[in-house]
Each structure stands twice: as structure tokens, then as C-alpha cells.
Structure 1
């Protein structure tokens, strides 16, 4: 099973969220865009952040099924990123970012670090062979991060996503271990248009 590991880039540091981050996580996850595009509880309450930090994150690492990092820019927690649903040498990338950190390349750098870790051979990484990306249709901000990272467009899956008991259409992309880590050019125009909240 993987052990929590810190990843460092030029600007961001990725580390396990701690109890000191609970208030900040609760604050950021109340953002309407995070509620709209992710599966976090809505409304997001303080107790949800407590459960996430004290149970969800450590259980994910211990089981080897979900590796989660806090994204820190200049020591401040500005987001979260994970590789989840790890099985059969595959994992799924997921992320959210605080409003004030968007549009500055923070999540793109974090994604590169996580992708490198996911594909690196054990014990330096997870030895994945394939990584997938999924987002609700209309989440062009998430698509931009995935596209820049090198994910290839796979298409739209009708009602492929579940969010709080409802089904929604979903965009999907994937990346193989040996695929280029550079912006993919096969994404349709619709994936560049952010839907309203």
C-alpha cells in the first residue's frame, strides 16, 4: 500500500491535509462552483471537513484505493487533488481549487506532479498504466487542466456521472503511462465553453 508522500513543484507543495486545514477546507468547499461541479456534500458543513480529514483521507491511503493531497501555494491551502478508484493499474484524477487560485496555473502544476507520481514505478510511485479523468458536462475549467496535462478526449457518456443521487452526462478522457505529457489537440470545441453555475 502507498504511504502518504509529499510532492513539490516550482510553486506548489502537495501534502496530506491535516486537522489544521479543517476550517479552510470547510470554507472553500462552500464555494458554489465546487458544489456545482464536484461530489462534495452540499451544503458543505464543518463536520464534513472533519470527516474528510480524519477518516476519508487516511482510510484512502491505508486501503491503497485513494491518494489525496492538499494543494498548497505559498503555504496556503488552495485546493485538493487525488488519484482515486485505484485498481488494476488504473486510477482516476480529481481536483478542486479555491476561487482566488483559479486561472494561475496552480492546478496544472499540481496535476503534473500527481500524474508523474501515479505513473512512476513502485515504490517511488503507484506504477499505474492508465489514468482517467471525468467531469460533468460543461466543466470546461476542469477540462482545461486535463487537456494541458495530456489527457486524450474519450467522449461524452450520457448519465455517466452520479452527483448527490442524480445522474448527469459526463465528459471523459484518459492517459496511458507512455502517452506524451503535453496538451492534447483532440478535444472538441464544446469542452472549451464553461457552463453557468
Structure 2
């Protein structure tokens, strides 16, 4: 079971549980069409959705041991710029998920956040001691694939129409990382997962 919310830090980012003061920024960022296109956040996104997320979904996930969710913050200003979490925690496995605001992309912040979350996921003494972290993305999400590939996730394939999204089913890209896998850019990812192929 996951403990109470913990704060993690690495390089340019600090990760901590989102709080009431973050609600307006979460609501603003989750209205970005790019975030709506690639995640399961409500769409259209209202302030009430952010309130429910901060006051209910996040603390309930930590308390139940099923979800660990962090706000991704600039280490200098402590302002929220995204979200990252480990979801569906059970039997030694969890699924990593993340989004980043448009203005924070391209700075390496998500790569740093993924790195510290994976350290926490696999650490048996101070973290969760997971045996496997999985990554899923709707087919076409080359930006998310680049983050996962750079972190060392090993490509496992495509589940055809494997994920529901806003009333339709979409192909689901899948990869995974085990504690002993190299934490460096992984080979073996198909060309169609790259940003160049998506253009």
C-alpha cells in the first residue's frame, strides 16, 4: 500500500500533491485541446472538475494505495506546470501517466519527473517496490512515446482498439520498464511512434 503523499525532487522539478491553490491552474491547463486529445481528463474541463480532482480523487488514491498523484512544479517558483502519477497499483505493478502544460514543454521537466517517479516506484525501502511499471498512450501520441522511450521503457506492442476514449475505442500503444532494465533510451521502438512519423 502506498503511504501518505510524499514529496519528490530532481533537477528542475519538485513533485508534491496538488492542493487547493493549484485548482485554477489545473483547470486552465486541462482546457488545452492537446491535453484533452491525449488524456482522459473531462472535456470540456470545468473548475469543478479540478476541485473534485484535488479534494477527492488525489487524496482518495493515496489513502487507498491504488494511486499516487503528484503536481509537477518548477523547483524555483513551486508553480504547478503539469501532473504525473502511478495508477492502478496492484500486485507489484503500476501504470505511469503524465501531462505537461504547453508553456513548460521542451525543457526536460517531464523527463526529470519521470526519472524520480521511477526511482520511487522501484525503491523497496523508501518507495513502492514495484516489479513492473507500464506505460500506455493512445496511438499517435509521439510526445509521450518520446518520454517513455528516453526513460528506458521497452516497447511491447499495440492493443488494437485497446482503450476507450470519449465514446470511441482507440489503438493503445504499450511499453513497460522493470527494475533491472537500463534507464537509458531504449532500442526497438517502431518508427511510427516517432514525432517525424506523426508529421
Structure 2: distance between partners of 1:17 and 1:166: 30
The size of the alignment, in residue pairs, is 195
2:6 paired with 1:8: no
Give the Å deviation of 1:18: 0.1
Matching residue within 140, 146, 149 for 1:147 = 149
Give the Å deviation of 1:45: 0.5
Structure 2: distance between partners of 1:58 and 1:164: 25
In the alignment, which residue of structure 1 is the partner of 2:129? 127
Give the Å deviation of 1:195: 4.3
Q: Secondary structure at the match of 1:8?
A: strand
In the alignment, which residue of structure 1 is the partner of 2:85? 82
Structure 1: distance between partners of 2:111 and 2:16: 16
Q: Secondary structure at the match of 1:86?
A: strand
2:47 paired with 1:46: yes
What TM-score, normalized by structure 1, do the two folds share?
0.96
1:24-57 Cα deviation digits (max 9, x unpaired) = 0000000010000000000011000000000000
Q: Give 5+ residue unaligned stretches, structure 2.
A: none
Q: Give 5+ residue unaligned stretches, structure 1.
A: none
Matching residue within 82, 99, 102 for 2:102 = 99
Aligned residues of 2:120 and 2:128 also touching (Cα < 8 A): yes
What TM-score, normalized by structure 2, do the two folds share?
0.95
RMSD: 1.1
- Post-superposition, which runs of at least 4 consecutive aligned residues in structure 1 deviate over 6 A? none
